[in-house]
Copies of this chain bind each other. A is one copy, B any other.
Amino acid sequence: MHLHRILSFLWALRSPKFLLTKSSKRSASCSLSSFLFSTSVLASSPSSMASVSLDTINPKVLKCEYAVRGEIVTLAQALQEELKSMPGSHSFDEILYYNIGNPQSLGQQPITFFREVLALCDHPSILDKSQTRSLFSADAIKRARQILDQIPGRATGAYSHSQGIKGLRDTIAAGIEARDGFPADPNDIFLTDGASPAVHLMMQLLIRSEKDGILCPIPQYPLYSASIALRGGTLVPYYLDEAAGWGLEVSELKKQWADANSKGITPRALVVINPGNPTGQVLAENNQREIVDFCKKEGLVLLADEVGASQLFIRKMSMFLKRSSTSFKKVARSMGYGEKDISVVSFQSVSKGYYGECGKRGGYMEVTGFGPEIREQIYKLASVNLCSNISGQILSSLVMSPPKVGDESYESFSAEKDGILSSLVRRAKTLEDAFNTLEGVTCNKAEGAMYLFPCIRLPEKAIKAAEAVKTTPDNFYCRRLLNATGIVFVPGSGFRQAPGTWHCRCTILPQEDKIPAVVSRLTEFHRSFMEEFRE
């Protein structure tokens, strides 16, 4: 409950006694970084409203955890405020947010063509002005016109169909067909504000009670554990094999499935994250076929999180790694399984890959293998929130149909894209190598996603020190790292991990010119941490 204490503290700063003078504010702020390790700064302050307290809110909310934006990030934000109000108060001068796959926050530039089209769709009245032709590329102008023609009344400020604008879904379906070589139906596409609402929707549909189980990889992206907890279901864990490059063994799936069944839990769906998050690995196609067969045999809905699956990044990586990523729908279809055989939902987002447009909240799911009466329910759930944001919808269509050879933007687009991808590959390699040189640390390759998930064998003394301040060893390590260097990683606990192992997740997104300094700070911190806790 440390986050609670930080927030209580920040809350207390709002009360009049903290707002009397600048100096009192400063002294309050000064104590913040040390605050987490003190034992009794503030007693748990009572709720102002007796009617709403931790005892009377939905207990499922209390159970839900979301570490990617949890305690460590809150501490980082507080430190950032300190650095702003008191420059020089720490040995570092900025907070380096490597906790989250948020490329543009770390300097990655958006793809010009995409932004040109978005700007023109936002303000179509400039389309016919002569100056526009000198400010925007011809194919962006043409594309914006095409997209506007697909929107009823050319109204980008209107609610759309609850699944998203039909013309954009046509484009996306065509992109999926071209990618997979199997038909895709625009009526199977549901455009969403990023991938998260799509995941929540499917969990809401499937989970009736704690007797319903959802098979999830461990480690997993905490959206899944959070969403399952909020709906009162049971997360049935299956462990990825770290020693085998985070491999997914079907024998492990079968074991956990049987174990859940024996406890009276009915597994309803299997979550597969491919490429892995936080683990970064890409599944081999024969492994995917085994997974599809397992789902078919056990009647499980296959929830395929393919958000990280930017084909281009994987192709770049595969120059080194000889791996490619295939959509689960393609795998199922190539095995001869159609609509009637297996339910597959694929989640996609515009937040990752070379585009990295997190703030646009674009995404979609492709829903296949459900009967019309279930589709009706999925549509109803989508309609309760009316529709997803139109800019995100447009962007989702653009990433599935970028400029082609011969288009005015093609060369600059390709240069931007290749620049980002090549740089990501170099950064992944440098960071992975750096981790592997640290004492007691091993780190698998990032084969297809923007994350590394190194394993840290912490000394017994550090584990005891963590216990003494009532936290987990990985959390303890990440706090110390943050306070010493300003670097923000997410403790492995937030993703769950095999018992007795400790990890942290680090993105491969630090800009290249910063990487030497990051590596040197990390190395220095790790050395002194290990020294401090050596037995």
Residues of A within 8 A of B (CB): 3-4, 7-8, 10-11, 14, 44-54, 56-62, 64-66, 68-70, 77, 100, 102-107, 110, 112, 115-116, 118-120, 122-123, 125-126, 129, 131-132, 134-135, 152-153, 155-162, 185, 187, 193-194, 196-197, 200, 204-208, 223, 226-227, 230-231, 268, 299-301, 339-340, 342-343, 351, 356-361, 369-377, 379-381, 383-392
Q: Are B196 and A386 in contact (CB under 8 A)?
A: yes
Q: With A116-B123, A157-B104 in contact, do A387 and B372 touch (Cβ < 8 Å)?
A: no
Q: List 22 A-B contacts (CB under 8 A).
A: A7-B372, A14-B187, A48-B369, A49-B370, A51-B343, A53-B373, A56-B208, A56-B268, A57-B374, A58-B208, A62-B377, A69-B386, A104-B153, A104-B155, A104-B157, A105-B159, A110-B156, A226-B384, A227-B384, A230-B384, A359-B390, A361-B387
List B contacts of A58 (CB < 8 A). Answer: 204-208, 231
Which chain B residue has the least Cβ–Cβ distance from A233? B58
A46-B371, A65-B380 given; name 6 further pairs at CB < 8 Å. A49-B301, A61-B205, A104-B158, A196-B386, A197-B385, A227-B384
List B contacts of A200 (CB < 8 A). Answer: 385
List B contacts of A14 (CB < 8 A). Answer: 185, 187
Q: Are B131 and A66 in contact (CB under 8 A)?
A: no
Which chain B residue has the least Cβ–Cβ distance from A295? B51
Q: With A61-B381, A389-B360 in contact, do A162 and B376 touch (Cβ < 8 Å)?
A: no
Q: Are B115 and A122 in contact (CB under 8 A)?
A: yes
How far does the Cβ of A409 sit from chain B's closest Cβ, in whole Å? 13
CA distance A369 to B53 in the complex (A): 12
CA distance A196 to B388 in the complex (A): 11
CA distance A300 to B50 in the complex (A): 10
Please provide the 10 A-B residue pairs with the shortest distance between their CB atoms, ordered closest to farther.
A47-B371, A51-B299, A105-B158, A119-B123, A69-B383, A11-B372, A359-B390, A361-B389, A104-B157, A104-B155
List B contacts of A385 (CB < 8 A). Answer: 193-194, 196-197, 200
List B contacts of A206 (CB < 8 A). Answer: 52, 57-58
CA distance A391 to B381 in the complex (A): 24
How far does the Cβ of A94 sit from chain B's closest Cβ, in whole Å? 11
List B contacts of A153 (CB < 8 A). Answer: 104-107
CA distance A64 to B64 in the complex (A): 24
How far does the Cβ of A25 sit from chain B's closest Cβ, in whole Å? 15
Which chain B residue has the least Cβ–Cβ distance from A97? B152
**Which residue from B7, B100, B135, B157 sits with its C-beta under 8 Å from A358?**
B157
Q: With A105-B152, A157-B359, A358-B158 in contact, do A49 and B299 touch (Cβ < 8 Å)?
A: yes
Which chain B residue has the least Cβ–Cβ distance from A47? B371
**Which residue from B47, B61, B208, B360 sits with its C-beta under 8 Å from A204?**
B61
How far does the Cβ of A52 sit from chain B's closest Cβ, in whole Å? 6
